[in-house]
Structure 1
């Protein structure tokens, strides 16, 4: 993983909605130890009735990629590493043509994973519209 960030524990998660785009920022803390093949971060949310919603995610493997998965239609939009910036303190992903798609968000939470296993779940998310 040349020029890739190290996997780190999530300390905060923020979604910013601006017009027809979304910016997601995962605040990062200490490095996650162990043998790492790939890792990533995500935010899942659903409507107040438990339906609809999306997953905003980023994954680091041989290259960095991002995606938006829509639960109701089971469709996914993929984004290249050009949409991703990172430092030791944060991962920021810009989704230029994404939206929340729900008037009322019910549950919303962030997570992190390493080698396909969830490391952190239920991380609170701040949603700014």
Structure 2
């Protein structure tokens, strides 16, 4: 599980659906949540949680609809028969992505390569700190 400490910048809510906007380091992230905790408000300290298999990888020049898209560098990878566990750094942040080995090979990824990493906003959970 990836965990990023962040500060809530804004919360937009319509009915039971909320989008929480938060900052971690130089990154601006979004989390789409149902029935958000009322204590989640501007300035709150939170952890943004997302599973390794929810982190998408893309080549640097790809355009995506995902709002949580950042550039990082592959610093480690463990390539298995079916899956590849890829460690990426972006500034002072380290996250892990699990992709299929086919995807690793299709994207022609390698250690020390820059990649785009993305998380759909509905896949980011939030925990108050």
TM-score (norm 2): 0.23
**Larger relative contact order (Cα-Cα within 8 Å, sequence gap ≥ 6):** 1
Name the larger-Rg structure.
2
Which has the larger share of helix?
2
